[in-house]
Amino acid sequence: MRIATWNVNSITARLPRLLAWLESTGTDVLCIQETKCSAEQFPRDELRELGYESAVNATGRWNGVALLSKVGLEDVVSGLPGGPDFEGVQEPRAVSATCGPVRIWSVYVPNGREVDHEHYAYKLRWFEALKGAVAQDVAGGRPFAVLGDFNVAPTDEDVWDPAVFEGATHVTPAERAALATLREAGLSDVMPRPLKYDRPYTFWDYRALAFPKNKGMRIDLVYGNEPFAKAVKDSYVDREERKGKGASDHAPVVVDLEI
């Protein structure tokens, strides 16, 4: 079973590449972030032609998450139960479903913007709500994972130059501690080291030739419970999909399970 996560940075802009990638990789379940469209605009018909059902939590031009599955979509939950609002709105940042034998969450954790910004405090509250919301699924006996854009680099090894990020979001002790609470809850980062690249980043800014220079960050993660982690047989960052015209600024992260 092949499960992946990909921040597409607009599903409308990325649709031709997304369809081609799904067809070529044989992915069974894909978690998508930053759909940047409403639920009504989501390309369900095009995806259905490839055999995918869609669960979508999206409201417009910002944020938006989805789950695509060729192995079924049951017990769909749209949104983060108990999640905080930002400026009076609960943003579309989470969707979960049972896909065949696996329970999956697709999440797009708030960016945080700047350390002294209200969005940063919101990010930390969002992580706390996520920990509580997944507790029951983590403890269950079936394989379970949270995949998505976490907007946190877990360690200094996950950024191209720690000095460049000093004092900025994505690497602060508070954010990393918030991510660590998921590990305390029974989830672990299932991506082994080394991967197929010495520095398996998942995001490279569009500016300043960041991708050709490999000035990236690993912020797209797969956190699974013990039954999920034990089933993982391979995992990789599909760096090739970051190349070329019309690419997202994120690359897909792929996990193969023997299940």
Q: Which residues are catalytic?
A: 108, 149, 250
Residue 250 marked ligand-binding: yes
Residue 249 marked ligand-binding: yes
Residue 34 marked ligand-binding: yes
**Residues 133/109, Cβ–Cβ less than 8 Å:** no
**Residues 222/6, Cβ–Cβ less than 8 Å:** no
Helices (H), 143-225: 162-165, 173-184
Q: What is the DSSP letter of 208?
A: T
Q: How far apart are CA 172 and CA 104, in angstroms?
A: 27
Contacts of 199 (CB under 8 A, 6+ apart): 157, 160, 214, 216
Q: What is the DSSP letter of 86?
A: B
DSSP reduced 3-state for 136: helix
Residue 87 marked ligand-binding: no
Helices (H), 37-117: 44-48
Binding residues for Mg(2+) are 7, 34, 149, 151, 249-250
Binding residues are 7, 34, 149, 151, 249-250
